[in-house]
Amino acid sequence: ETGVTQSPTHLIKTRGQQVTLRCSSQSGHNTVSWYQQALGQGPQFIFQYYREEENGRGNFPPRFSGLQFPNYSSELNVNALELDDSALYLCASSDRTGGNRIYGYTFGSGTRLTVV
């Protein structure tokens, strides 16, 4: 098992720019969820992908979009970056959409995005 890997680990962008964050899910996992975690807050659900289709979305504007690839890896794209988008972006994978009863969701170490 390689776990969930995310890249890059840190990123600095300018307001108005676009960013793409990447996630490789754990081997055998077909479901990927993305979360935004502001400093001192709990993770906020952005969306979930299952077999390359979005099957759940939180309260985030359309400039947050994603993709899941046939190998179940995933991307999070954010357009027109705003200062408030500065946060830790976490990717979580599972072998089923409701989370594995025994193992839950496996989180990656996240990408720390700073928008200046």
Q: Which is nearer to another protein, 43 or 66 (CB)?
A: 43
**Residue of 57, 63, 69, 77 interacting with another protein (CB under 8 A):** 57
**Cα separation values, 95 from 4, 34, 37, Å:** 12, 15, 23
Nearer to another protein by C-beta: 18 or 54? 54
Could you say whether residue 55 binds another protein (CB under 8 A)?
yes
Q: Which is nearer to another protein, 14 or 59 (CB)?
A: 59
**Cβ contacts of residue 40 below 8 Å, gap of 6+?**
none
- Binding of another protein at residue 59 (CB under 8 A)? yes
CA angle at 20 for the pair 40 and 46, rounded to the nearest 5° = 50
Q: Which segment (20-28, 42-50, 65-73, 76-84) binds another protein by CB under 8 A?
A: 42-50
Minimum CB separation of residue 13 from another protein in Å reads: 21
Report how far apart, in Å, the C-alpha atoms of 84 and of each of 2, 50, 53, 65, 81 are.
Answer: 32, 28, 27, 17, 8
Task: Pick one of 21, 32, 76, 90: the residue that binds another protein (CB under 8 A).
Answer: 90
